[in-house]
Chain A
Amino acid sequence: MKKLLAAAAGAALMVAAAAGSASAADKLKACWVYVGPHNDGGYSEGHDKGRQLVDKELGDKVETSYVESVPEGPDAERVIERLARSGCKIIFTTSFGFMDQTIKVAAKYPDVKFEHATGFKTADNVTTYNARFYQGRYIIGQIAAKMSKTGTAGYIVSVPIPEVIMGINTFMLGAQSINPDFKVKIVWVNSWFDPGKEGDAAKALFDQGADIIVQHTDSPAPLQIAEERGLHGFGQAHDMSSFAPKAQLTAIEDNWGPYYVERVKAVLDGTWKSQQSWEGLKEKMLIMAPYLNMPDDVAAMAKDTEAKITADPLLPFRGKVLKQDGSDAGPIDDGVLLGMNWYVKGIDDKFPQ
């Protein structure tokens, strides 16, 4: 009986597989690799929404699939390679830690296009793409400086990579443009996602006199704590106002969809080329959530800055930027930003080594 069942199940699987490949044969396969669950309510979900937009707009010509919760590091190579072998024509690897693995697999599959998010290594068939998140950080820095009564913000961060450092620096530059004496207290939680720890970090920072919380981690826990204490904060990657309707001032939202549609289309048209895309408010790869819970003049200021950055992506760095020790950082361009490994003047914290 057991054997019979197994045989029946096997046959059913084969039929299903055959049916799957038949319908897939004439469609372009686009695949995604996520570092978290597709519905993590944060970073990976942002990418998955982008994938869904591809489904919606190009569904008749493209078939999408994804692998979720792939750990960064050696294990990712196996996953990426499996996707490449299974007929994916374009593969988006959506986390910084997939960089070397993407490059490695790409060398073995020259006919497959690879797109790696937030990294800096490219090849003939590997493109990098990222959003200019720092633009949003500048705006929230200004809002924080206007809204804070204690003149101190708490900043919860994950791991010291240039992307994160850039965010802290731009936030501070924004705050200093309003209040030159603004202070920021930084706590590293060494994790992108741990609601409990992020919440505890927020409590520790509030206990020390911060009254605005900024996060570069993915869960809405810090905002919930702000809501509980009647203080304020900013959403990360998503509009998190449903978790903290009174606390969220705005959020820096990821918006990968239009980019994904454009790139998959390029593969369909045969116009895909390797490039380094770094898009921001102008291209709407990042958008600001509604400015809430703040006086009208602060909201007006934020909108004004948003419009200015849309016109000039490097606006936050147009003035003279000093490093923590007071030395001149010199002119700042994309290259300097992407390799940023120093704090700007005014941040008291020791730079993590």
Chain B
Amino acid sequence: MEGLEGPLLTIITASTPLLLAALGELVTERSGVLNLGVEGMMAVGAVCGFAAANLTGMPMLGVLAAILGGMVIAFLFGLLTLGLVTNQVASGLALTLFGLGLSALIGDAFVGVPGPGMPKLYIPGLSDIPLVGRIFFAQDFMTYLAWALVIAVWYFIFRTRGGLVLRAVGDNHVSAHALGYKVIRVRFLAVLFGGACAGLAGGYLSLVYTPQWTPNMTAGRGWIALALVVFAAWLPGRLVVGALLFGAVSYLALYLQGIGVGIPSQFLSMLPYLTTIVVLVVISRNRTLLRINTPACLGQSFVPDR
């Protein structure tokens, strides 16, 4: 069992940024807004987090800056798609390009500078339990935050009135509007939450995962997060399965190469994507479940008639 500890720790840290970004996007999409700019928001979050932590020497301020950075970019997206009713797909794609460029610009001075790093949080007592202790109770604080967020988001969406309004807006904005709910305001908040989560995910990359800043360091994780949301049928629980699965298979692909199994590395590199898609498609084969959970107004603009 000793040998399992390293791999399990790696898998959890590898899936945390995906989980965070996907969770934010899940809430955004539940409100009916499709924001394809996750990668861009992550990149800006990563650079803001790194810059703030580096300038102040306080990683926690970095986390805050990462969240704010993601939210500022999301705010821009909200202004465009909700305020000016631009096309969500086009705006989202533009946001990714913009975010990647902007982050490279902001980060110019921080390339090649080592980051302060985030201390691990050991929960006294519990972290001494063999195996389980190190894995569950000796992570960095952002990993705990990610798991707490999963539960909070699930509770919010399915167990609160606010969640019901969010889903109503995403499923049928005309009816929600007729009932007197502020569609645009709800959507704007959801977009901002998505930005905060994506920024946090970016901050995780530049502060915890590999404490450094380099342009394009998100390396496509925003897109994977986007795909996870769809394949998880907009359900937080399945998102966890998807993120962990992706993390596990990515790690396994590298691990198998090290042992020398003789499977072409290109195939192993493809494996995480393939497995995650196949598994999530299979568990989401239930048509009714998909119909119930897919936000019916996803990607559609709404103009309240005044």
A47, B143: Cα distance in complex, Å = 38
Tally of contact residues, A, Cβ under 8 A: 43
The answer to whether A219 and B214 touch across the interface, beta carbons within 8 angstroms, is yes
Q: CB-defined interface of A44-75 with B at 8 Å, one 1/0 digit per residue?
A: 01000000000000000000000000000000
The answer to whether A200 and B254 touch across the interface, beta carbons within 8 angstroms, is yes
The answer to whether B251 and A185 touch across the interface, beta carbons within 8 angstroms, is no
The answer to whether B212 and A207 touch across the interface, beta carbons within 8 angstroms, is no
Task: Answer whether residue B262 sits at the interface, using C-beta atoms and an 8 A cutoff.
Answer: yes
Residue of A nearest to B112 (CB): A41
Is the contact region of chain B dominated by helix, strand, or loop, or is it mixed?
helix
Interface positions, chain A 306-353, Cβ under 8 Å from B, are 348-350, 352-353
Task: Answer whether residue A85 sits at the interface, using C-beta atoms and an 8 A cutoff.
Answer: no
Binds A, one of B3-11, B160-168, B236-244, B286-294: B3-11
The answer to whether B212 and A224 touch across the interface, beta carbons within 8 angstroms, is yes
Task: Answer whether residue A129 sits at the interface, using C-beta atoms and an 8 A cutoff.
Answer: no
B255 in complex: contacting residue of A194, A208, A220, CB < 8 Å: A208
The answer to whether B214 and A207 touch across the interface, beta carbons within 8 angstroms, is no
The answer to whether A195 and B214 touch across the interface, beta carbons within 8 angstroms, is yes
- CB contacts (< 8 Å) of A352 on chain B: these are 264-265
The answer to whether B254 and A221 touch across the interface, beta carbons within 8 angstroms, is no
Q: CB-defined interface of B117-157 with A at 8 Å, one 1/0 digit per residue?
A: 00000000000000000000000000000000000000000
Task: Answer whether residue B304 sits at the interface, using C-beta atoms and an 8 A cutoff.
Answer: no
The answer to whether B210 and A221 touch across the interface, beta carbons within 8 angstroms, is yes
Binding site for A on B (CB under 8 A): 3, 6-7, 10, 14, 17, 104, 108, 111-114, 205, 209-212, 214-217, 219, 221, 250-251, 254-255, 257-260, 262, 264-266, 269
Report the minimal beta-carbon distance from A289 to chain B, rounded to whole angstroms: 14
Residue of A nearest to B259 (CB): A208
Given the known inter-chain contacts A200-B250, A206-B6, please indicate yes or no for A219 contacting B113, CB distance below 8 A: no
The answer to whether A39 and B111 touch across the interface, beta carbons within 8 angstroms, is yes
The answer to whether A203 and B111 touch across the interface, beta carbons within 8 angstroms, is no
The answer to whether A350 and B260 touch across the interface, beta carbons within 8 angstroms, is yes
Given the known inter-chain contacts A41-B111, A352-B264, please indicate yes or no for A200 contacting B215, CB distance below 8 A: no
Interface positions, chain A 175-227, Cβ under 8 Å from B, are 185-191, 193-201, 203-208, 210, 219-221, 224
- CB contacts (< 8 Å) of A203 on chain B: these are 6, 10, 251
The answer to whether B14 and A200 touch across the interface, beta carbons within 8 angstroms, is yes
The answer to whether A207 and B6 touch across the interface, beta carbons within 8 angstroms, is yes
Residue of A nearest to B9 (CB): A203
Interface positions, chain A 212-253, Cβ under 8 Å from B, are 219-221, 224, 238, 242-243
The answer to whether A37 and B104 touch across the interface, beta carbons within 8 angstroms, is yes
- CB contacts (< 8 Å) of A174 on chain B: these are none
- CB contacts (< 8 Å) of B3 on chain A: these are 207
Report the minimal beta-carbon distance from B214 to chain A, rounded to whole angstroms: 5
Task: Answer whether residue A119 sits at the interface, using C-beta atoms and an 8 A cutoff.
Answer: no
A210, B7: Cα distance in complex, Å = 14
The answer to whether A188 and B265 touch across the interface, beta carbons within 8 angstroms, is yes
